[in-house]
Structure 1
Amino acid sequence: MSTRETRQPHSQHGLSIPQLFIVAGLILLRTLNALCTGRTFFQPDEYFQALEPAWNLAFGPNSGAWLTWEWQYRLRSSLHPALFALAYAAADKVMSVLPCLPSLKASLLVILPKLVQACLAVLADLYTWKLAEKVYGKGSRSAWSALCVTVLNPWQWYCSARTFSNSLEMTLTIAALNYWPWELLGDTSEAHGGSPARRERLASLRVSLFLAAIAVLLRPTNVFIWGTVVMVALTRLTLRGKNPITLRVAMVLVREAVLCGSAGLALSGVSDRLYFGEWTFPPYHWLHFNLNQDLAVFYGEMAWHYYLSQGITQLTMTFLPFALVGLYRFAVSPTSGATATQSNTLRTLAYTVISTIAVLSAVSHKEVRFIYPLLPTLHILAAPSFASFFSAAPGRQPSQGRTALLAGLIFVNLIIATYLSLFHVSAPISVMHFLRHEYERIHPGRLSLHPEHPVLNHHHNLAQSSPVDSSNGTDELFALFLTPCHATPWRSHLVYPSLRARALTCEPPLHTAPGSAERESYMGETKRFFDGFGSSDQWGVNFLAGEMWPLVTGGDQPKIAGRGGEVPRYIVGFESIEGALTGFFDSADMGVKLKRVWRGWNGLFSDDERKEGYLVVWDTGVYRE
């Protein structure tokens, strides 16, 4: 299979009219993509490592944002949430001078981060296409196929418009790879222009190195991708042709790497200084907690082959055969009909995938998101085999069987993307809308994003037999989430600072030593509540009676005990906890009479038995509207 394909005439600068239509189409597509995936929940980091710190940065410490332990211990770079904080602050400023209902303002703020992320997803699509054109030629079938695979991949649809740091890392990585001067991996016999071309390559190198530096600062594991690119460029292991990197060129590379890396480090340092209030270096803290303290395994361990047996499959989905063929072909087989630069570029891209997966496979805690930055590269590698399989040679008609197969593949991808983006785990998003709208209905006078006074954490004993009047100015505990920790978004969807809510936590055992008995026996709040789930009829009751609403004695009458803690207006949980709730409240004499007021379907399957079934909201009946 040759990589040399017929190229269409093109201009060196700017976009042609058809290309502008494609860009406009991608913008519309990813905007729709963002609005669709905004209806479903994937993983907590989409909110708690991006939107919650962004909300805190934009609206202040009294905004009710939930900052997890990673932010308290400065493990994360502030660059990612700062992007959304700027959008929040700008939108708030604009809407403050326009006549805008609080409910409409809240809805717009919920959607806004998705639209920002949609722009980043468009950039990822465009840079994948641009790099494919650099490798295969402008207008080539393989370049068009790379764009088609990117657009049709259900995983890209599911994740590219989500506000993960991995999504930003993916965009930064493919952009940096596009700007990387791949001529450095070519042959000295290949002409690459005179002085103007050299100046253009130097500018391109600087952009590439700066974007790579930001990606590494954002996610330190990104260094494995760039370590591979640099190592192959310098050693030229298995590459064709004579090395064009002279001592002078090598010195320029070192100089630019230091300068661009320093620029990225300075930007990150200033951002973190402004966010945390002092100079700090999050990658160091990240390495300390994940390597020295070995805390990552607290959130799960996977087999060494996870990325090989499941990760790549989930990333590429129906395009897996083409990705595997491309990966093998460009890493092992000689590339016929290609220039040294083309062949060596494709081989290096294949090596980045192989080496990064090999290194990350040695780490106990694995998630598909961690190899997400490799997906655009896999799309580029898959493109030639995809193009040759589904398109005919010049002058021939495509096979009807393969045309039907292509139509079937597109249909399957659309079904997967539609289900994942609209229905799978949609209840955690829907319930936040329900609670926010209920708060707007019950408390229409408390919908300010900037309360005059701090929103305090009240600890009034609301375990009373008579209904509580919520019109006395006290900020009630509006919702209690008895779900596995971080099973829903938080302030980015609740919006209003005065809407007080509480949820179970799952802080890791920061105070324990790796491998100690204390760490082995440690149980976070979520584990304590769900202890015995599925094997005991009494699971959850002891936690509710001993921790959530414990018996407390009165000061004047020490022999008389009552239930302490706050009773919320609403309790949120999956339907499997209803037995524990009724078992506790029936005997607690707290005046609570649970009534289902909302339930949401949560998809066809779940990877956590505690999240199976409907998500339910119960009214406790202790509040009078």
Structure 2
Amino acid sequence: MRLLYVFALILAVRIASVFVVQTYYVPDEYWQSLEVAHKLTFGYGYLTWEWVQGIRSYVYPLIIAGIYKLLALLQLDSAQLLVLLPRLLQATLTAYSDYRFYVWTGKRKWALFLILVPWFWFYTGSRTLANTLEASLTTIALSYFPWIGEGSAYLWPAAICCFLRPTAAVIWVPLVIYHLRKTRQPPLKLILKHFVLIGAFVAGVGIAIDTYWHGQLIVTPWEFLKYNILHNIGSFYGSHPWYWYFTVGLPTVLGINTLPFIYGIMETVRKGDRQPVSKQLLISILVTLVVLSTVEHKEFRFVTSLLPLCLYVCAESLSRWSYRASRTQLWAAALVILLGNVVPAWYLSTVHQKGPIELMPKLQEIARDYRDEREQRANILFLMPCHSTPYYSHIHENVTMRFLTCNPNLEQQENFIDEADRFFEAPMHWLRSHIPVHPITAQPSHVVLFDSLEKKITDFLINYKLLYSIEHAEHVQPRTGKSILVYQRLKKGEENAFNRQQDADQADPPELPAEPQSSENLFN
């Protein structure tokens, strides 16, 4: 009964995160899952270059597509449910993985506390990211790993994880070696009867699914490694120095939990024989960080799967420390960890980069309002860095939309510049080259942009009026801004009235006072 209450608590926190976390993090949350599922189910949408080249597996989007298909059959496929239900599904899987973490750690109170409070896990645990799925599967697999006794059940979630994201295998290489060393079975028998059979079955099903939906025989894990590792395509989207994961990446993901993690490392090094699980986990963490550091393109989310390993080390060290700590010290430590996680979780979940999420319902309303107008169908142009917002999965209307693409140099062209870069180098030149001037109805009905771009394209916006200004972020980056603006093209009557008003303003400037007013008059 106690375990049921624990799972209910965990599930409540994860479900709450679905409704609390209403900010934009990374494009893959939508473009590599929801957008793909939407196109599979409803026949319209956008597939990024990764799907054209076949480096992504359809396994995860197909699960979401199943939800979409059920909603369509029940005629409940509203944009709101298309966004909400996949997140609820992911939150439920995350809750189960958190529960398995609690069981794996020996049902320690510190373990339950540490798995519930991390700001990064609250921030990403309900997002439809492949990295979130990978972290959940990794936690579940670790909970079934034969730390004591025998067993191979962990191979199923681990194999699925490695097929979906081949880089996940780096975590498991040291653990598999550990398993082979400690098992009482003949290693060759274990490899042939379990490792090979389970791996071949998972790979066979995955290849069959991807071959069917990609339309050709394809092994997506190989394509993933070929483009991201051998061709180093990821560096096109940014690079960091080799030590970034050690100094910035993992410490940021852990946040305030970096302090108990460092303490756990020190304790494990000093008492490694008494903490064999933590010792083995630290080896896996180190190997993973070293391997990932050899790849130029680095992101915080790429180390999400290391979070349960790090938290186990924290939980074990804090549990041992608790035996000799006073009640005041225990409460003080818990309060510092809690506040250190709640503050960034609240800010990043509700304030920072909230614009795209608040934008999409407004665009959905625009698309719906224009649905029945023959002369003025909605035609939305996004003049933003590529993939700055969700797309059809959040609008669920088959309207014309265009964004600035940022496909990498797949054909190895000399002096290659992607479309987004060309636009931001000379915005007005790009607009004159790509957007027709006459007739006015050929121009986009709506333009979406960050406020930092507004003054650079005022000539283009002459036939538009500001419809919405949506707060986005407090800190302005080179190509983003504090607000997202939505401009609407003037309709026939509005256009004439707008031009007359402009002419009147130019012809009759406001009269200036004949004499400057005294300071006394200004204040009285």
Q: Does 1:275 align with 2:275?
A: no
Deviation at 1:610?
1.1
TM, length-normalised to structure 1: 0.75
Q: Partners of 2:39 and 2:30 in 1: how far apart? A: 12
Aligned-pair distance for 1:325?
2.1
Residue 392 of structure 1 deviates from its aligned partner by: 5.7
Residue 277 of structure 2: aligned partner: 345
Which residue of the other structure, out of 306, 310, 327, is the alignment partner of 1:398?
327
CA deviations on 1:127-185 (whole Å, 9 max, x unpaired) are 2112211xxxx4xxxx22122111000001001111110111111111111112123xx
Q: Deviation at 1:423?
A: 1.5
Alpha-carbon deviation of 1:119? 1.1
User: 121, 127, 130: which one pairs with 2:103?
Assistant: 130
> Using the alignment, how far apart are the partners of 1:297 and 1:565 within structure 2?
40
User: Given that residues 177 and 208 in structure 1 are in contact (C-alpha distance below 8 angstroms), is that contact kept between their aligned partners in structure 2?
Assistant: yes
1:471 corresponds to which of 374, 385, 394: 374
Change (3 A) 1:56 1:541: same
Partner of 2:345: 417
Aligned equivalents of 1:509, 1:269: Cα separation in 2? 27
Partner of 1:354: 286
Write the deviation string for residues 580-617 of structure 1: whole angstroms up to 9, x where unpaired: 2213455xxxxx1x2211111112225x3211221111
CA RMSD of aligned residues (A): 2.3
Match of 2:93 among 74, 97, 120: 120
Q: 2: distance between equivalents of 1:598 and 1:351?
A: 52
The letter of the residue matching 1:548 is I
2:8 aligned with 1:35: no
Q: Secondary structure at the match of 2:367?
A: helix
Can you list the C-alpha shifts for 1:193-215, whole angstroms capped at 9, x where unaligned? xxxxxxxx44xx1x311211111
Supply the distance in 1 between the matched residues of 2:487 and 2:224 (Cα, whole angstroms): 39
Contact 1:569 1:622 in 2 (8 A): no
Name the SS of the counterpart of 1:496 in structure 2: coil
CA contact (8 A) 2:370 2:378 kept: no
Matches within 5 A, 1:38-437: 39-60=22-43, 63=44, 65-94=45-74, 96=75, 105-133=78-106, 138=107, 143-183=108-148, 201-202=150-151, 205=152, 207-234=153-180, 243-246=182-185, 248-330=186-268, 332-335=269-272, 338=274, 343-387=275-319, 391=322, 393=324, 398-399=327-328, 403-437=331-365
Letter in 2 for 1:486: H
1:52–1:67 contact (8 Å) kept in structure 2? yes
Distance 2:449 2:127 in 1: 24
2:476 corresponds to 1:610: no
Structure 2 residue corresponding to 1:530, chosen from 420, 424, 428: 424
Count how many residue pairs are aligned between Structure 1 and Structure 2: 494
Counterpart of 1:492 in structure 2: which amino acid?
S
Is 1:546 paired with 2:430? no
Cross-structure match for 1:578: 454
What is the distance in 1 between the residues matched to 2:429 and 2:218?
A: 42
Aligned equivalents of 1:124 and 1:74: distance in 2? 29
Runs of 4+, deviation exceeding 6 Å: none
Structure with the largest fraction of helix: 2
Q: Distance in 1 between the 2:26 and 2:452 partners?
A: 21
Equivalent in 485, 497, 511 of residue 411 of structure 2: 511
1:438 aligned residue (322, 341, 366)? 366
Tell me how far apart the structure 1 counterparts of residues 492 and 100 of structure 2 sit (CA, whole Å). 55
The answer to which of 157-166 and 85-94 deviates more is: 85-94
Q: Is the 8 A contact 2:146 2:179 kept in 1?
A: no
Deviation at 1:113, TM superposition (A): 1.3
Note closer, same or farther for the CA distance 1:397–1:227 as it changes in structure 2 (3 Å cut). Answer: closer
Summarize the Cα distance change of 1:585–1:168 in structure 2 as closer, same or farther, 3 Å threshold: closer
Decide whether the 8 Å contact of 1:35 with 1:114 is kept in 2. Answer: no
Contact 2:98-2:139 within 8 A present in 1 as well: no
Q: 1:564 to 1:276 in 2, by over 3 A?
A: farther
Which of 448, 471, 481 aligns to 1:601? It is 471
TM-fit CA distance, 1:576: 1.2
Alignment partner of 1:595: what SS?
strand
Following superposition, the deviation at residue 412 of structure 1 comes to 3.6
Q: How far did 1:253 drift? A: 3.3
- In structure 1, how many angstroms separate the alpha carbons of the residues matched to 2:236 and 2:250? 24
- For residues 366-412 of structure 1, the C-alpha deviation after alignment (integer angstroms, 9 at most, x for no partner) is 111111111011111111333455x464xx8512x653453243234
The equivalent residue for 1:26 is: 10
8 Å Cα contact 1:392/1:398 also seen in 2:
no
**Deviations 1:471-523, CA, capped at 9 Å, x for gaps:** 34x7x3431100000000001101112x221111111111107xxxx1xx211
Could you list the runs of 5+ residues in structure 1 that have no partner in the other structure? 1-16, 184-191, 193-200, 237-242, 446-469, 532-538, 552-561, 587-591
* 1:246-293 deviation digits (Å, cap 9, x = unpaired): 5x2542233210100011012202211231122211111112222333
**Matched residues in 1 for 2:473 and 2:144: separation?**
41
CA contact (8 A) 1:484 1:526 kept: yes
Q: Partners in 2 of 1:82 and 1:623 — Cα distance?
A: 45
Contact 2:141 2:154 in 1 (8 A): yes
Secondary structure, counterpart of 1:568 in structure 2: coil
1:623 to 1:384, Cα distance in 2 relative to 1, 3 A: farther
AA in 2 matched with 1:88: Y
Contact preservation (8 Å) 1:57, 1:275: no
Q: Partners of 1:90 and 1:145 in 2: how far apart?
A: 40
CA distance in 1, matches of 2:418, 2:140: 40
**Structure 1 residues 604 and 405 mapped into 2: Cα distance closer, same or farther (>3 Å)?**
farther
How far, CA to CA, are the matches of 2:471 and 2:2 in structure 1?
43
